[in-house]
Structure 1
C-alpha cells in the first residue's frame, strides 16, 4: 500500500462497515465485544492511525491545549512542563508546544499563537517571563481561552493567569533575615526586564523600608556567573555603612555563584554573611552550606494553568490565581556576628 491505511482499509480487513470502525476508534459503547476485538486486530495489523486534524475539523474538538514559551530566563521550565503534561493527560488532552526564545517581537508571538489556533487547539497557555508578551495578549481575541503563566497581573478581562506570589516570597526571605537581626541586606537581583525580578525587588524593598533597614541592590541575570560577579563586587565595595551582613539572591543559581565567590574571598557563610536564595532548585540542600531558600512549586504552577484552562473550555469565567511560596530554612543563614 503506497498510502497510509485509512478507516475503509480497516473496515475491509475486519469485515465491518466504516461506521463500526469509527465507533470502535471513538470508544462508542454500542459495539459488540467480539466485533471490537476484530476491528482492533485489524487496526494493529495495518498500523492505522486516525487523522486527528480531520477529526478536529469535523467535531470542532482537537483535545489539544497549546503551550507557548516566551523568554530565556525560565530556569525551572522542565518542572513547569511536567505539571502541564500531567494535568493535561489527566484531563484527556494532548499538549502542542511552541517556543519563542530571546527578544521575540509582538509579531513573532502573534504568528506562534496563530499557528496553534490553526491546529484547532482548544486553549492556550503562555509561559512568559517578561512584560512584552502580556502586553501583546491584552485586548487580543484568539477565539480560544488563554492563560498567562508566571507573568504577574494581566490587564485583559478575557485572560486568565496563574503565578507564584513572587513579592510574598521575597518578603518571607527578608523577614527571616530581619528576624535573625540583620539590618543591612543586599539584594542580587535577576534581570529587571522580567516579572519575577521586579516583584522580588518590590518585596525586598518593602520589608527593608518597614523595618527601617537598608542594603544595596545589584542587578544580574539570574545566572550563577552573575551571582559570582556581584558577590565579588560586594566584597570590593567600600561603603561608609559597611558591608552587608546578609544577601538575598534573585534565585538559587545566583546564590550558588555568591557562595562560590565568598568561599574564594575567605568570607564565611553564615558566620560572616548569611545567604538566601529563591526557587529551591534540586540540590539546594546539598550546597555548602545547605541553602536557605524560597520554594516555588513549579509542577503545581504548570498543573494549575491547565486545570484553569480546562474550566474555561467548560464555560467558566477567567480566573487569576496566586500560589503561595514557602521559606525553607537551612544552614546558610544565622544571626549576624556580634562585632558587625
Structure 2
C-alpha cells in the first residue's frame, strides 16, 4: 500500500479509501491510484481487512437439496444478490438431512470466515431441539419456521394453494383432489393445510390426500390411482413436476385433460407453459425470496438490527390444463 501511495503521489489513507470502495475520493485521484495498483500488481488483502474490520464479506448457505427447481432458483437469486452487495458465498449442501448433519453443517460454518448464514432446509428439522443454531452468528431462514428468534423470508404458500383450489371450485368442480409433497416438508404441509381449509370453507368434500416426493415419477404413480376413479375431475399437485407426472398418467389412462380432468401445479417452472396441455399453476417469485433473504442478513450484519417474517406473494397463472367439468 505504501508503494502504491508513492507511485500515485497520494497518502496511504487515500489508497485505503480506494481499495475499500469508498466514494470520498475524486475521480482523477481514484484513477491515478487504480493505475498505480495495476502497474505494481497490488491487490487488497481481504484477510488483513477482515482482521481489521471484523467482517469477512462472506455469507454461508446451508441447503437441503440442489435437485429441486425452487431451491436452485432461490440459490441463484441469493448468489446474484450477495455479489451485488459485495459478499461471496460458502455453500454446504445437506442432501440427506438429519438433526446431526444439520448441526454439523452449522458448526462448520460457524468456524468458517462468514458473517452470517442463510438456511434453506426442511423446516421440521429446525423445530427439533437437537439442532442448535449459532447464537453469535446472524441467521436468516428461507421457507421455514424461525422459532420466533430468526428472520424468515417465506413464499405465501397458503395463499397460492387457496388460489389453486378456488380456481378449480370456481370452474364448477365438486371437489379437488390433492397430490401433496413429502410429509416432513413445511412447504408441502402449508399447501396441504390451505387446500383442505379452502375446501371446508366452500362446503366441499375433502378427499384423501395422496403423498408424493416432489418428483414427476411420484406424480405419475399417484396420477394412475386417480385416473382409475371416475369421480376425480380436478387435481391440485403441490409442484409442477408432480403435476407433469399426473398429466402423463391421465393421458396414458385415456382421461382427457382438461375435458375430463383439470390439473393445477405449483411453482410455474419455465417449462410448464410447454407441458401438454400448458399447465395452470401457481407462480412463485423465487428471485424475490433470494434477494430479500440476502437483504435481511446483510442488514443484520451491518446494522445489527434483526427483521421479522417477510412473506412474498404468489399468483395464479391460468393456462389450458383447467376447464369446467364436462356434464354428461
Q: Which residue of 1 aligns with 2:49?
A: 55
Shift of 1:208: 2.0
Q: Which moved more, 1:66-75 or 1:248-257?
A: 66-75
* Alignment correspondent of 2:81: 87
What is the aligned partner in structure 2 of residue 129 from structure 1? 122
Q: Any unmatched runs of 5+ in structure 1? A: 1-6
Which of 212, 237, 251 lines up with 2:239 in the alignment? 251
For structure 2, which runs of at least 5 residues remain unmatched after alignment?
none
Displacement of 1:20: 5.3
Give CA deviations for 1:73-123 in whole Å, capped at 9, x if unaligned: 632223212332333344x33131312232233343333333333344222
One of 262, 270, 277 as aligned partner of 1:282: 270
Q: Which residue pairs with 1:24 in the alignment?
A: 18
**Pairing of 1:74-113 with structure 2 (within 5 A):** 74-90=68-84, 92-113=85-106
Give 2:139's aligned residue.
146
SS of aligned partner of 1:48:
coil
Question: For the structure 1 residues 47 and 129, does the alpha-carbon distance in structure 2 shift closer, same or farther, using more than 3 Å as the test?
Answer: farther
Distance 1:220 1:338, change over 3 A: same
**Deviations 1:223-265 (Å, cap 9, x if unpaired)?**
111111111122235xxxx431111111111111111121122
Which residue of structure 2 aligns with residue 200 of structure 1? 191
Deviations 1:170-211 (A, max 9, x none): 111111111111123211112112111111111111122222
Q: Count residues in correspondence.
A: 326
Q: Is the 8 Å Cα contact of residues 124 and 144 (structure 1) preserved in structure 2? A: yes
Shift of 1:329: 1.2
The reply to whether residue 183 of structure 1 matches residue 174 of structure 2 is yes
- Is 1:333 the equivalent of 2:327? no
Of 303-312 and 246-255, more deviation after overlay is shown by 303-312
| Mapped pair 1:264 → 2:257 | no
Displacement of 1:62 after TM fit? 2.1
* Root mean square deviation of aligned Cα: 2.7
| 1:69 maps onto 2:60 in alignment | no
Q: Confirm or deny: 8 A CA contact 1:106 1:132 kept in the other structure.
A: yes
Q: TM-score, normalised by structure 2?
A: 0.88
Superposition pairs for residues 284-323 of structure 1, below 5 Å? Answer: 284-313=272-301, 314-323=303-312
| Aligned residue in 2 for 1:220 | 212
**TM norm structure 1:** 0.85
CA offset at residue 286 of structure 1? 2.1
Question: Does 28-37 or 141-150 show the bigger shift?
Answer: 28-37
In the alignment, what sits opposite 1:235? Answer: 227
Secondary structure in structure 2 of the residue aligned to 1:169: helix
Contact 1:138–1:155 (Cα < 8 Å) also in 2: no
Describe the superposition over 1:265-320 as per-residue Cα deviations: whole angstroms up to 9, x where unpaired: 22100101000000111021222111111111110111111122233231323311
Distance 1:102 1:187 in 2: 26
